Amino acid sequence: MASFLIEVTLPAMGATVNELTVISLKAQPGENVRKGQKLAELESDKSVFDFESPADGVLRAVLVAPGDVRPSGSPFLRLETEDESLRHLAAGAAPATVAAPVPAPAAALIWTPRAAKLAQEAGLDPATLTGIEATGPGGRVSGDDVARYLAARKS
């Protein structure tokens, strides 16, 4: 069988989840991967979950980095495979472009979806909150950061 290149997009997680945060990557370009192998850990505003390879093949490109926040359906990785059931995902001749994230103002904090939700549930406005340490991927405020901030406020 002849191999072909497929472009895999970030998964859609339902009607209310429209972006995902890349927490970590577990495979690098050039690696042979197996169907079901963990390739990345992703976070939505509702959960953290593993992203698994859709097929056996060779990982040819990873189009995101840890800390990236990308919309569902945006390009995620390219995989060379012989799995004909995935032929509909074959990458076109033109390489896909990945839009760079819009930089936030220098003083603004960048929040993971989970962190923003936790802050809002505690009655805080992430857009105006200051004094919270951002230790998450890419310098973002994580859910753990919000938990530490809330615990310190109670002390």
Residue 53's pLDDT band (boundaries 50, 70, 90)? very high
Q: Does residue 144 or residue 136 have the better pLDDT?
A: 144
Task: Give the model's pLDDT for residue 108.
Answer: 74
Q: Which amino acid is at 119?
A: A
CA angle 26, 31, 34 (to 5 degrees): 75
Please state the pTM of the whole predicted model: 0.58
Instruction: Quickly state the pLDDT bin for 92 (edges 50, 70, 90).
Output: low
3-state secondary structure of 15: coil
Q: Give whichever of 92-96, 128-132, 146-150 has the largest mean pLDDT.
A: 146-150
pLDDT digits (tens, 9 = 90+) for 10-47: 888 777 778 888 999 999 999 999 999 999 999 887 78
**What are the structural domains of the chain?**
4-89 (2.40.50.100), 113-154 (4.10.320.10)
Give the pLDDT of residue 59: 94
The whole-angstrom separation of Cα 105 and Cα 126 is 14
Of the candidates 41, 85, 38, the residue with the CA atom closest to the CA atom of residue 59 = 38
How many C-beta atoms lie closer than 10 Å to residue 22's C-beta?
A: 22
